[in-house]
Chains A and B, each alone.
Chain A
């Protein structure tokens, strides 16, 4: 949804760049007699609302998957009475939280207590700015894209620490401190793993990173060139989302619910929403960084060529865009499935093991991975981004 459609090309049908909905929308509005500025203003809220809705629906699907897959792994049935196969269960859960009494404990710090969950949720939702579902299907192709996500995700521990401290409860404080320690420790190997990918694609922009993986379909995906980076990134993403085996901040057997202990009602729902949006976001970013983003395992251009269709035909463009969205979501949810399966496979690590893994294992390996990538880029610029 860039406003960089080159002059001279038909707006909305730029062959090289694919479908550009913004340009088509604005020209249509201008055709109705609106000024260019007004058309742009009318366009602006659309992708934002759309992505917000997509994020929330993604969370609902995620919660349903979590419950159903967890049930299947444990040979249970799981929710089945709220809607067909229990698909409405997440909505029922959400409605329950909305109508629950919103309690601020008497001895808690009211302002920080309220601000905490907000600070946790907002950066996660803001990060959806840079998630691309297609060449032009993202809110904003920021030049610093992936770096924006990394910096936004470091705001989160402040919110966690804040809510843990403001609850005035030893479990909450311990949970908050653990969350902060965990987030800070795992951000470094995460950033280093991302840096290796960025080095190969010579850009921080998520669109450029995907574009660099579109040459030969599945073979050009970054996972083949960055297998170690992929594993490091996935482990760190799980740790950042506080998913098992890294759910120490909430470890219910030791800390009741960690920093969430004193929360109920909508404030708890914000934490809940935040953690699931974060999981979907991480899965989406893994698919963008390592699994070719919106790319089909076979390049769509080849398929169109075999079927004798011109790549810039409107029908092909629409199909390509739809396939792109489906592929992005499919890859992300495959990773979510893996995360849920891992949840029931791996036991929780201790806090010292967690920090050991982060600082003594992942960090050096991520550094070596970065150096090796740099070396390979110099040695084989054709394969590792010249």
Chain B
């Protein structure tokens, strides 16, 4: 008899507990109903890529010395460097350079190791194409600069979460002038003690 009553009690407690949890869950979802959407309405709004964003690679033909370091550091030897040896001047003559972005994994090794800095990363990420061969960029296509999100008049540029002022979660409606959370590298520099080598040398001379 008591066993049965205990069972009924446990049953009831379980049911009340379940109802309690359900109410808590419903309160959470209900609370979300009144919050503003946080989604970025691409393509009308776009996030500003961060400084270290690894997008489509930019290439300057005139700086390149055809050393092929980019090919050697590439995980799949992707860049194609088309050069011939000029017997008269005993110098490499670069004719074409291409990277296939349908294959590239945007690891940035080529950019890292390029001795003349003729390779660099851009913010461009819209690389959709109807034909994958059109993603094979030659040196002309590689030399084009992408449209910046901030200068495109058709796009509302939104800051990413880490670039928003402290406490802001939603980039919509945050003014452009509002400073980002934390200190910028320049501001960190200002707080450091001034130990310029020239100044230090001067003070030591005066002492001597």
Known interface pairs A69-B33, A72-B33, A73-B33; A345-B39 also in contact (CB < 8 Å)? no
Least distance between A118 CB and chain B CB atoms (Å):
36
Which of chain A's residues 70-105 have a Cβ closer than 8 Å to chain B?
71-77
Is the CB–CB distance between A346 and B25 below 8 Å? yes
The count of A-to-B residue pairs whose CB atoms sit within 8 angstroms is 34
CB distance from A109 to the nearest CB of B (A): 40
Contact A75 B36 (CB under 8 A): yes
Among A71, A73, A76, point to the contact of B29 (Cβ < 8 A).
Answer: A73
B residues less than 8 Å from A342 (CB atoms): 26
B28 partner, pick from A75, A76, A345, beta carbons under 8 A: A345
Interface secondary structure of B, over-half rule: helix
Which chain A residues border B29 with CB–CB below 8 Å? 73, 341, 344-345
Binary interface encoding of chain B residues 9-27 relative to chain A, with 1 for a CB under 8 A from any of its CBs, else 0: 0010001000000100110
- Option from B11, B26, B32, B41 in Cβ contact (under 8 Å) with A75: B32
What size tier do the contact residues of chain A reach?
10 to 19
**Is the pair B38, A345 in contact by a Cβ cutoff of 8 Å?**
no
- The reply to whether B37 and A71 form a contact with Cβ atoms under 8 Å apart is yes
A346 to B19, CA, bound (A): 12
Decide if A345 touches B37 in the complex (CB within 8 Å).
no
Top 8 nearest A-B pairs by Cβ distance? A345-B25, A345-B29, A77-B37, A75-B38, A72-B33, A76-B39, A73-B29, A73-B32
Can you give 22 A-B contacts (C-beta < 8 A)?
A69-B33, A72-B32, A72-B33, A72-B37, A73-B29, A73-B32, A73-B33, A74-B32, A75-B35, A75-B37, A76-B37, A77-B37, A77-B39, A341-B26, A341-B29, A341-B30, A342-B26, A345-B26, A345-B28, A345-B29, A346-B22, A361-B15
Q: 13 extra interchain contacts, Cβ-Cβ under 8 A, other than A75-B36, A75-B38, A342-B26?
A: A69-B33, A72-B32, A72-B33, A73-B29, A76-B39, A77-B39, A341-B26, A345-B22, A345-B25, A345-B26, A345-B28, A345-B29, A361-B11
Residues of B in contact with A (beta carbons under 8 Å apart): 11, 15, 22, 25-26, 28-30, 32-33, 35-39, 41
